[in-house]
Amino acid sequence: MLEKEKIYTNVKTEKELNKEDIHPLDVASAIFAYSGKNEFPTNRFILHSAFKELKDKEEYKDLFEDYGFSMNEPYPFSRDIEESLDILATSGLVSLDYNPKLEVYKVSKESKEEIKELVIEFLGEESKIIPRLKNAAIEFDCIIDKYKENLKAEE
C-alpha cells in the first residue's frame, strides 16, 4: 500500500492550498473514489478522452491544470493519466484482478473509502475542493458511459 504522502501530496489546509499541492495522481484518485462506479474500462481512448473533457470544462480547469495531453495521437493522450493508473494499480487501490481480458479496472469499496479518508485528511472536511471533486466524478461517470455507448453503436 502506498504511504499517504505518496497519494495525497502536501495539502494541509484550504488556506495553504495552491496549484502545486494537487497533482494529477491526487485528482485521478479522487475521481475514482467519488465515482458511482466500481469498474472503469481499460480502453485508453475512453479514459484519456474523459479526463480531457473534464479538463476542458471551466469549473475544473484549476483541478486539471497539471494534466498534459498530446493531441498527436488518435485520442488525447496523457502521460499523467498513465502514471496515475500505474501508481494506483501498483498500490492495489485499483486492480485488474479476476479480469483475464484486462477490460476493466476495479476499485473496491474499501479502496474508495481509503482514498476518501486521505482526501479528507489532507484537504480537510470543510474543503471547497471536495464537492468539486465529487461533481467531477459524477461527470466523469457520464462521460465514460457516453463513450462506451458510442463505441457499442460503432460495432
CA distance 29 to 39: 14
- Pick the more confident residue, 151 or 149: 149
Q: Which residue has the higher pLDDT, 11 or 142?
A: 142
Set of cell numbers at residue 30: 479522487
pTM score of the predicted model? 0.82
pLDDT score for 97: 65
Higher-scoring residue by pLDDT: 4, 83: 83
Residue 77 has phi, psi (to 5 degrees) of -85, 135
Q: Which residues pair with 70 in a beta bridge?
A: 77
Cα separation, 124 vs 12, in Å, equals 8
pLDDT tens string 107-130: 999 999 999 998 888 888 888 899
Question: At residue 7, does pLDDT exceed 50?
Answer: no
pLDDT reading at 3 higher than 50: no
On the question of pLDDT at 2 being above 70, the answer is no
Instruction: Give the tens place of pLDDT for each residue, 14-72.
Output: 444 444 467 889 899 999 999 999 999 989 999 999 999 999 999 999 899 889 999 88
Count helices and strands (H / E) in the chain. Answer: 6, 2
pLDDT given at position 100? 65
Signed CA dihedral, 143, 68, 20, 112: sign only: positive
pLDDT given at position 108: 93
